[in-house]
């Protein structure tokens, strides 16, 4: 009989039932009714001998009818898992695992040996044709609860396989979907305390499982496993006491515990000299900034520049959670140019001022508070009051300062950076990307404009005024005349509760305090549109297959080979029509990969693809492909140069960034015109492209004025977005009725761990 060929294409893990059944027999060899001899049975472990045999009737089955519709089964299972998590210490402390089995008795016995406390059958089917539905149910449940193995301990998103590689079932029905649950820290401590004499472990082991969160915090806090930052409390909205971290207390505690270099973003022994250099260059670019008023009499060698950042993270059940923070303008540089902050850094003839992108985000970003949407929806005044409190605390850091290293130091905020929706919320903007005309008929009405830095997008049909945001360049666009002090204020009030506490550049529009963010503008915006349109066009010309699907297969094969050769990685794995946002030739492609850093990988692959020798003739013969290649290379050069530059870019770096940025903008505009002439829906024009124009134009203006410019990536939020993601992940593991307090409590330990990790990396082992 011919053997069935094995196909090694399945991403699934093997079923745990394989470890229990050596020969995949129909009868469980460890069950009481087994006909197998004692010789063929695996010997039981000592732990398993203490566990009583379980009858089928003892199983905790919480099932509904197996013929119910799939959606009803799914939501029933989700509700059961949530109830189980709540019963076993709450959603922050309960660890659990989801799986499939054909033998729940043996599987339960195995988990009890591993200290899991409960085995719940979520769903059961008796028909072999329903196995596929069970496998999809398992994958859907793991996807719903997956959190990088913090609480949900499933390693594979797709779960375990119940089939052989020829798709036949490994085991006969019935099939069971189950969930096993246990406590995390307390149970680990109970097990470890039996072998380890550590007093702290013994105390943790005595914590009651029913209410472990508060006692654990007290124990860990008292044993110096977190930074001793006291909470501050103020009224916010109708809430009489809302928790936050006072920025002054935070930087003082960091300084006292040996992390003053992180507060500075500079080596301590070079700080005064470096800050003096910083403010000299800053003054050259912003001579009318309020910080230079003589009445303030500030010591610029003790004045630390900071940025503010804010964004919404994904909280419990994907509800938004606002996470405001601050970070030093200077830091350890980037992967392309690392800057040493340790005391071993030698004296330099010219002080190096690095951008703040390198290092653990928990050690370089400092949290103010968090605001759950559950609270914000009930009381809209909470957010504004928190911004007032934040502004007052930050103004105190400037006027009163804080003590560190035997001196009084001050902190000044020089800008607010973040995604456009959060900037709109903080500044109460009436001009943003939301205000762009969505269709041709809306152009008959007056348009407010789509940019807070200028009046681009403004249209007034009655007076014949139109300022297109789609026009790109450094000298020709009409919107350039409406920038700086000619910019009408983009808000109706006073620019939000935070702005009145900030010092501003009197030679610039007040709206310039809010900076466009390169990460969201390029990696999460223009870069998505550019690469998706480029791939859609390029794969048709280069591969010439009969359908989009076949062209996409060829493109993915080339992508896979390139990633194998370069060791580049993609979070999305490969390209699909959905990821490219391709719905046909009458709609513009829009990249939809969720991890925005994939944009950088796709840009590298795009230039490689168009430079391949076997495609050289096709690229040269096609004007659109030639322009795509040149435009992509220009952006790659601009980003690479920014990563290699300091905070204040040198003259040569500034010129490269300025020229490459201008080449990308003009190249994109050329591609739009070419595709429009050929009736191709490619290379969409959106407001984020206009914001990118502002960034490169600012470099151009500063170069014209002083011959150097501020690095656009110094205000980018790569690390800040990572910080938001980590903080939001913490917030998803706490009681939903006390999100702010519980998240701040856990943040203390998270920050302490990150700083310890950074300290170890900076240690000098050269003498060993």
Residues 253 and 160 in one domain: no
What is the C-alpha separation between 10 and 448, in angstroms, rounded? 53
Element (H, E) at 180: strand 175-183
Q: CA 448 → CA 262, 318, 636, distances in Å? A: 42, 32, 34
What is the C-alpha separation between 452 and 435, in angstroms, rounded? 11
Residues 140 and 204 in one domain: no
- Name the burial class of residue 4, with classes exposed (0-12), middle (13-18) and buried (19+) by CB atoms within 10 angstroms of its CB: exposed
Contacts of 119 (CB under 8 A, 6+ apart): 59, 60, 104, 107, 108, 111, 112, 178, 179, 180
Specify whether the CB–CB gap between 501 and 398 falls below 8 A. no
What is the C-alpha separation between 15 and 170, in angstroms, rounded? 9
Half-sphere exposure of 379 (CA within 13 A, CB side): 16
Residue 469: per-residue pLDDT? 94
Q: What is the mean pLDDT of residues 99-124?
A: 85
Residue 592: per-residue pLDDT? 93
Q: What is the mean pLDDT of residues 470-488?
A: 95
Residues 21 and 86 in one domain: yes
Backbone angles phi, psi at 157, to 5 degrees: -65, -30
Q: Is residue 444, in this structure, part of any structural domain at all?
A: yes
Give the confidence band of 601 by pLDDT, cuts at 50, 70, 90: very high
Which tens digits make up the pLDDT trace of 610-641?
A: 999 999 999 999 999 999 999 999 999 999 99
Q: Is residue 11, in this structure, part of any structural domain at all?
A: no
Which tens digits make up the pLDDT trace of 190-234?
A: 666 666 677 777 787 777 766 777 788 888 888 888 899 999 999
Residue 92: per-residue pLDDT? 60
Cα distance from N-terminal residue to C-terminal residue, the chain: 65
Q: How many domains would you assign to the chain?
A: 5
Which tens digits make up the pLDDT trace of 517-557?
A: 999 999 999 999 999 999 999 999 999 999 999 999 999 99
Residues 286 and 195 in one domain: no
What is the C-alpha separation between 380 and 18, in angstroms, rounded? 55
From the list 453, 413, 596, the residue with the least C-alpha distance to 521 is 596
Q: Is residue 500, in this structure, part of any structural domain at all?
A: no
Specify whether the CB–CB gap between 388 and 398 falls below 8 A. no
C-alpha R_g of the chain: 30
Higher pLDDT, 71 or 305: 305
Residue found under tokens 């103020």:
234
Give the confidence band of 257 by pLDDT, cuts at 50, 70, 90: very high
Backbone angles phi, psi at 323, to 5 degrees: -130, 90
What is the C-alpha separation between 370 and 386, in angstroms, rounded? 10
Contacts of 692 (CB under 8 A, 6+ apart): 516, 518, 521, 522, 525, 526, 661, 665
Residue 245: per-residue pLDDT? 97
Q: Is residue 32, in this structure, part of any structural domain at all?
A: yes
Would you call 310 helix, strand, or coil by DSSP?
A: strand
Specify whether the CB–CB gap between 160 and 14 falls below 8 A. yes
3 state SS for 261-292: HHHHCCCHHHHHHHHHHHHHHHHHHCCCEHHH
The bridge status of strand 407-418 relative to strand 303-314 is parallel
From the list 503, 490, 354, the residue with the least C-alpha distance to 414 is 503
What is the C-alpha separation between 273 and 2, in angstroms, rounded? 80
What is the C-alpha separation between 237 and 13, in angstroms, rounded? 51
Q: Is residue 484, in this structure, part of any structural domain at all?
A: yes
Give the confidence band of 439 by pLDDT, cuts at 50, 70, 90: low
Backbone angles phi, psi at 346, to 5 degrees: -75, 165
Backbone angles phi, psi at 521, to 5 degrees: -70, -45
Which two tokens mark 312? Answer: 């919404």
Higher pLDDT, 761 or 289: 289
Higher pLDDT, 763 or 606: 606
**What beta strand segments (E) does 302-439 contain?**
303-314, 320-328, 366-367, 371-372, 402-404, 407-418
Q: What share of the chain in percent tops pLDDT 70?
A: 86
Q: Is residue 389, in this structure, part of any structural domain at all?
A: yes
Give the domain-ending residue among 175, 203, 222: 222
Which two tokens mark 442? Answer: 């809306």
What is the C-alpha separation between 355 and 352, in angstroms, rounded? 10
Residues 626 and 731 in one domain: no
Is 70 exceeded by the pLDDT of residue 90? no
CA 612-617-619 angle, 5° bins: 70
Which tens digits make up the pLDDT trace of 133-145?
A: 898 999 899 888 8
Q: Is residue 768, in this structure, part of any structural domain at all?
A: no
Residues 729 and 708 in one domain: no
Higher pLDDT, 336 or 157: 336
Q: How is residue 44 annotated by DSSP? A: P
Residues 476 and 437 in one domain: yes
Q: Is residue 382, in this structure, part of any structural domain at all?
A: yes
Q: What is the mean pLDDT of residues 230-255?
A: 95
Q: What is the mean pLDDT of residues 56-69?
A: 83
Whole domain around residue 143: which residue ranges? 17-183
Give the confidence band of 282 by pLDDT, cuts at 50, 70, 90: very high
Q: How is residue 306 annotated by DSSP? A: E
Compute the CA torsion angle 75, 77, 80, 84 (nearest 10 deg): -130
Higher pLDDT, 249 or 87: 249
Residues 569 and 697 in one domain: yes
Residue 734: per-residue pLDDT? 83
Residue 202: per-residue pLDDT? 79
Residue 578: per-residue pLDDT? 95
Rama region for 344: left / alpha / beta (φ>0; ψ in -120 to 50; rest): alpha
Residues 578 and 672 in one domain: yes
What is the C-alpha separation between 609 and 616, in angstroms, rounded? 10
User: Residue-wise over 286-298: b if at least 16 C-beta within 10 A, else e?
Assistant: beebebbeeeeeb
Average pLDDT, the chain: 86
Backbone angles phi, psi at 595, to 5 degrees: -90, 110
What is the C-alpha separation between 416 and 424, in angstroms, rounded? 11
Give the confidence band of 758 by pLDDT, cuts at 50, 70, 90: confident
Residue found under tokens 């591609």:
671
Contacts of 195 (CB under 8 A, 6+ apart): none
Residues 375 and 472 in one domain: no
Would you call 322 helix, strand, or coil by DSSP?
A: strand
Is 80 exceeded by the pLDDT of residue 761? no
Is 90 exceeded by the pLDDT of residue 47? no
Residues 530 and 643 in one domain: yes
Residue 21: per-residue pLDDT? 43
Residues 272 and 393 in one domain: yes
Q: What is the mean pLDDT of residues 452-477?
A: 92
Is 70 exceeded by the pLDDT of residue 512? yes
Q: How far is CA 562 from the centre of its chain?
A: 26
């Amino acid at each position: 009989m011919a053997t069935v060929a094995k196909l090694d294409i399945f991403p699934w893990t093997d079923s745990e039932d394989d470890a229990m059944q050596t020969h995949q027999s129909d009868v469980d060899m460890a069950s009481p009714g087994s006909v197998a001899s004692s010789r063929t049975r695996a010997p039981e472990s000592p732990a398993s001998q203490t566990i009583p045999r379980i009858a089928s009737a003892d199983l905790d089955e919480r099932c509904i009818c197996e013929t119910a519709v799939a959606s009803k089964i799914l939501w029933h299972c989700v509700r059961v898992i949530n109830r189980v998590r709540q019963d076993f210490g709450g959603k922050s402390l309960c660890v659990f695992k989801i799986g499939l089995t054909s033998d729940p008795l043996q599987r339960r016995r195995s988990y009890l040996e591993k200290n899991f406390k409960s085995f719940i059958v979520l769903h059961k089917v008796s028909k072999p044709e329903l196995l596929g539905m069970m496998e999809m149910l398992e994958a859907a449940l793991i996807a719903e609860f997956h959190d990088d193995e913090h609480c949900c301990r499933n390693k594979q998103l797709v779960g375990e396989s119940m089939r052989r590689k020829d798709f036949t079932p490994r085991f006969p029905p019935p099939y069971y979907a189950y969930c096993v649950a246990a406590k995390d820290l307390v149970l680990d401590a109970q097990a470890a305390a039996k072998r380890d004499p550590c007093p702290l472990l013994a105390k943790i082991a005595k914590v009651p499982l029913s209410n472990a969160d508060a006692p654990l915090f007290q124990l860990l806090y008292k044993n110096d496993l977190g930074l001793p930052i006291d909470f501050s409390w103020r009224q916010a909205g109708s809430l009489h006491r809302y928790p936050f971290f006072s920025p002054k207390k935070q930087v003082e505690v960091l300084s006292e515990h040996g992390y003053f270099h992180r507060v500075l973003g500079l080596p301590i022994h070079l700080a005064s000299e470096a800050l003096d250099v910083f403010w000299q260059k800053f003054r050259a670019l912003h001579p009318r900034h309020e910080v230079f008023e003589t009445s303030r009499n500030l010591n610029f060698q003790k004045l630390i520049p900071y940025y503010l950042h804010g964004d919404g993270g994904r909280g419990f059940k994907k509800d938004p959670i606002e996470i405001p923070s601050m970070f030093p303008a200077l830091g350890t540089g980037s992967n392309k140019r690392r800057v040493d902050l340790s005391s071993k850094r030698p004296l330099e003839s010219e002080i190096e001022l690095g951008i703040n992108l390198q290092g653990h985000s928990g050690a370089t970003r400092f949290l103010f508070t968090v605001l759950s949407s559950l609270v914000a929806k009930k009381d809209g005044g909470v957010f504004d009051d928190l911004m007032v409190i934040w502004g007052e605390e930050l103004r105190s850091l400037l006027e009163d300062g804080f003590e560190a290293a035997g001196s009084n130091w001050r902190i000044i905020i020089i800008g607010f950076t973040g995604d456009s929706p959060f900037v709109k919320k903080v500044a109460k903007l009436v001009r943003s990307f939301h205000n762009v005309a969505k269709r041709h008929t809306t152009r008959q009405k007056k348009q407010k404009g789509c940019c807070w830095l200028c009046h681009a997008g403004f249209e007034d049909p009655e007076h014949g005024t139109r300022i297109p945001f789609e026009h790109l360049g450094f000298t020709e666009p009409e919107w350039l005349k409406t920038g700086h002090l000619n910019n009408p204020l983009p808000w109706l009030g006073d620019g939000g509760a935070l702005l009145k506490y900030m010092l501003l550049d009197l030679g610039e529009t007040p709206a310039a305090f809010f900076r466009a963010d390169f990460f969201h503008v390029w990696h999460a915006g223009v870069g998505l549109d550019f690469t998706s349109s480029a791939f859609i066009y390029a794969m048709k010309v280069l591969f010439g297959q009969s359908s989009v699907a076949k062209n996409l297969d060829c493109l993915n094969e080339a992508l896979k080979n390139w990633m194998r050769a370069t060791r580049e990685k993609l979070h999305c794995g490969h390209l699909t029509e959905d990821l490219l946002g391709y719905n046909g030739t009458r709609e513009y492609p829009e990249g939809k990969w969720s991890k925005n850093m994939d944009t950088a990988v796709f840009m590298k692959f795009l230039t490689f693809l168009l430079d391949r020798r076997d495609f050289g003739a096709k690229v040269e013969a096609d004007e659109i492909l030639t322009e795509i290649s040149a435009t992509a290379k220009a952006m790659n050069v601009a980003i690479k140069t920014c990563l290699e530059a300091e905070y204040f870019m040198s003259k040569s770096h500034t010129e490269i960034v300025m020229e490459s940025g201008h080449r990308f903008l003009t190249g994109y505009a050329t591609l739009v015109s070419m595709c429009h002439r050929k009736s191709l829906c490619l290379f969409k024009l959106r407001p984020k492209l206009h914001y990118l124009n502002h960034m490169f134009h600012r470099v151009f203006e500063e170069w014209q004025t002083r011959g150097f410019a501020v690095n656009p990536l110094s205000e980018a939020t790569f690390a800040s977005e990572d910080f938001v993601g980590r903080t939001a992940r913490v917030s998803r593991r706490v009681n939903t009725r006390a999100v702010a307090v519980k998240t701040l409590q856990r943040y203390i330990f998270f920050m302490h761990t990150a700083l310890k990790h950074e300290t170890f990396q900076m240690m000098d082992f050269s003498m060993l």
